Structure 1
């Protein structure tokens, strides 16, 4: 069954197309990041999310918030944090105001790797979107991604 199978409803066709596009994007970026930087897509995403933290009010994320941001379970996120911490890319410390809370910061080495990997991620994303735009089923979704989602509500 393909995204163009007539037995699928329009909603199911849309979901199949979205799933296909997501899979293509993730696989292409994964290969590029692994080859050039030894990072998975999830590792890159985690470093990216954590690098955006700040010391202001609400600037540090709890593990639940990090898990939601990288679309993983809390336990999978914790394992990922541990792996990156073991590689020296992250560090954890106790929250100064709540001893039960643990914060995670990206190390200098992690920030350097993230900055080196960012152009690879962006280039791979542009490449896979350009290829997907040639597929009539995926082209509308590509346009939404490229517009930053601003056309998602206008139909």
Structure 2
């Protein structure tokens, strides 16, 4: 393939459109969450992921799993967890079966904030997708996102 190959150009265009869609959605949701709840998209995502843990086998996530879930590096995830812990939204404790492992749970205040922020997040996501659907370049991607039935 060369830099002017039509297949490469189409692939590049598709990637640019996907990146544009992601950026627009994230910026729209970020503004809504910040204005309404003082949360960033990353903070909301982290609270959401951690709120889905359970006490059964494999129910608690290790920090590397959390990092993968929120698409951050392990060090950035640790800093994010520390900030939310300082705000009283999370707590950390040693894994009872492996003292090297540290688990993180959402506090009652964190769960309450997450419950308050969820409708804002969902509405902002719907708004951002509706706006993007009016753009002919982004409309096919919006349809693809809307057709996904990914379990939470």
Which interval holds the TM-score relative to the shorter structure? Answer: over 0.9
- 1:90 correspondence with 2:80: no
Tell me by how many angstroms 1:116 deviates: 0.3
Q: Which has the higher helix share?
A: 2
Q: How many residues align?
A: 145
Structure 2 unmatched runs, 5+: 1-5
Tell me by how many angstroms 1:149 deviates: 6.0
**TM-score of the two chains, using structure 1 as the length reference:** 0.91
> Helix, strand or coil for the counterpart of 1:96?
coil
Structural mapping, 1:2-151, within 5 Å: 9-148=9-148
After superposition, give the CA deviation of every residue in 1:53-108 in whole Å (9 maximum; x if it has no partner). Answer: 00011000000000000000000000000000000000000000000000000000
Alpha carbon RMSD of aligned pairs, Å?
A: 1.5
> Which whole-Å CA distance do the structure 2 matches of 1:49 and 1:30 have between them?
17
> Helix, strand or coil for the counterpart of 2:136?
coil
**TM-score of the two chains, using structure 2 as the length reference:** 0.92
